[in-house]
Amino acid sequence: MADLLSIINPATEALIKEISVDDRAAVAEKYVRARQAQPAWSALPLADRIQPILRLRALLIERVDLLAALLTSEIGKPITQARSEILAVPGRIDFFVENAANVLAPERVYCEPAEARPGMGTLEEVIGYDPLGVIANISAWNYPYFVGGNVFIPALLLGNAVLYKPSEFATLTGGAIADLLHESGIPEDVFIPVIGLGLTGAALLDQPIDGVFFTGSYATGQKIAVASAPKLIRTQLELGGKDPAYVCADAAVAVAAAGLADGAFYNNGQSCCAIERIYVHTDVYDEFLEVFMATVQGFELGDPTDPQTYLGPVSRKPQLAVLADQVADALAKGATLRCGGERMDRPGWYFAPTVLTEVNHSMTVMQEETFGPVIGIQRVASDEEAVALMQDTPYGLTAAVYGTDRERAVGILSQLKTGSAYWNCCDRVSPRLPWSGRGHSGLGATLSVAGVSTFLNPRGWHLRVD
């Protein structure tokens, strides 16, 4: 009998459902189906692949209430934030659809005249683009529509078949996404959900796939890279971050504090690009802290199904211990606890929003991904000190600078190795810009034109035309 995966509601700890997990044989069978279906899918005119994606777009809007409620039930994301995530996907679909034809179009880059090589005739050089084939999309739970959609939507548009493994913590949503795609007209063998935990993901990687697009932690990302290396297939890794923000002496302090509190606590801090460390110039530190604390204390915490709720439970129970350990480590090393600091005394996996000051880089809270409602704020004396601290982790997903001088901010941000740089904003993703990480934050990019064409292989055509 297949193993069962228990889906638990993080807000109530109630069992929602038990679902059968795909074993190795089931994964292999799904792979064969995808492999057989892919050529016919890629042979369709692009317009025939765009149509179902546009139907998906419409269904996401039409069913947003139902889909958001499902997402909230299994990961505890506040309902307004679940709705926002789903309703932002149509904008991304528009970008992918607008760019699909461009990235697929063959380019005639050179024509060698017949007289150049007597007797050889005229030769055309054309760059063509082929879909990768069958790809695996192994996904995270925190933004299943975003991180999955950034992969499977352009991949499908460009003619690939997708084996989609949702996170075990967002399995119901993964199933709903598959149902929506099939209802929209994507053939059942062209997009196949693969259900299970890490073992199922590993079994998927054992198949002779043509690419793996992974979103998750650095620790798992390393395993994916090792498993895919002998296959020499396209491997993209969107991993964690320890994203810093720096508030300069000339910043609009109240705006910075409110923006950074949201950046740190939105989705309970469970965003890859959540603000995880804040450095504040000493000249504005006290004012910053006052507004920051007031903002955090104003956040509505409670039942994630209530539209007023801003902070719900954390999505995974083991994370409660990670958060408690980071707080204990910081306090043992001299940090000051401004609020929160522990699991809340109520049903559900609620951790009180936590602000730590007098922190330093000997503490795990300033070094390792927190992925929860805990933030450290450190006072700095200069831009140089801020730069040194901001680059003092192996991660490189995003960084933010708040200040009135654009040149100064860009100068600071340019010194950091990150995939995204924010001036007077943070925790933001755009379909038009590449989403990528440096160092332990990943490899390759999704979004932007580069993140669409990543689902294609270029081919050099040498065509003797007469």
Among positions 225-254, residues that touch ligand NAD (CB under 6 A) are 238-241
Residue 442 binds ligand NAD, judged by CB under 6 A: yes
Catalytic residue of the set 238, 276, 368, 369 = 238
The span from the CA of 91 to the CA of 30, in Å, is 31
Alpha helices in 347-435 (DSSP H): 383-390, 406-414
Among 9, 171, 215, 268, binds ligand NAD (CB under 6 A): 215
For residue 182, how many other CB atoms are within 10 A of its CB?
17
Decide: is 154 part of the binding site for ligand NAD (CB under 6 A): no
| Exposed/middle/buried for residue 252 (C-beta within 10 Å: 0-12, 13-18, 19+) | middle
Q: Is 136 in the site for ligand NAD (CB under 6 A)?
A: no
Pick 139 or 184: Cβ nearer ligand NAD:
139
CB neighbours (10 Å) of residue 208?
Answer: 10
Site for ligand NAD in 363-402 (CB under 6 A): 369, 371, 397
Of residues 38 and 436, the one with the C-beta less far from ligand NAD: 436
Query: What minimum distance in Å lies between the beta carbon of 144 and ligand NAD?
Result: 9
The CA distance from 335 to 363, in Å, is: 9
- Output 197 or 388, the one with its CB closest to ligand NAD: 197
Asked whether the beta carbons of 127 and 107 are under 8 A apart, the reply is yes
Structure-token pair, residue 176: 């709903």
Catalytic residue selected from 85, 168, 248, 272: 272
CB of 363 to ligand NAD, least distance (A): 19
> Interface mask (CB under 6 A) for ligand NAD, residues 248-287, using x and -?
------------------------x---------------
Residues 326-365, interacting with ligand NAD (CB under 6 A) = none
Chain centre to alpha carbon of residue 217: 10
Q: Does position 217 bind ligand NAD by CB under 6 A?
A: yes
Binding mask 185-204 for ligand NAD (x = CB under 6 A): ------------xx--xx--
Q: Which DSSP string do the residues of 235-302 spell out, in sequence order?
A: EEEE----EEEEE-TTS-HHHHHHHHHHHHHGGGG-STT-EEEEEEEGGGHHHHHHHHHHHHHHS-BS
Give the list of residues 6+ apart from residue 426 with CB closer than 8 angstroms, or none: 243, 245, 259, 260, 263, 273, 275, 398, 400
Instruction: Give the phi and the psi of residue 216 in degrees, each rounded to 5.
Output: 170, -155
Sign (positive or negative) of CA dihedral 230, 236, 237, 243: positive
**Is 248 among the residues known to form the active site?**
no
Judged by beta carbon, residue 223 or residue 231, the one nearer ligand NAD is 223
425 flagged as catalytic: no
**Residue ranges that bind ligand NAD, judged by CB under 6 A:** 138-143, 147, 165, 167-168, 197-198, 201-202, 205, 215-217, 220, 223-224, 238-241, 272, 369, 371, 397, 435, 437, 442
Catalytically active residues are: 238, 272
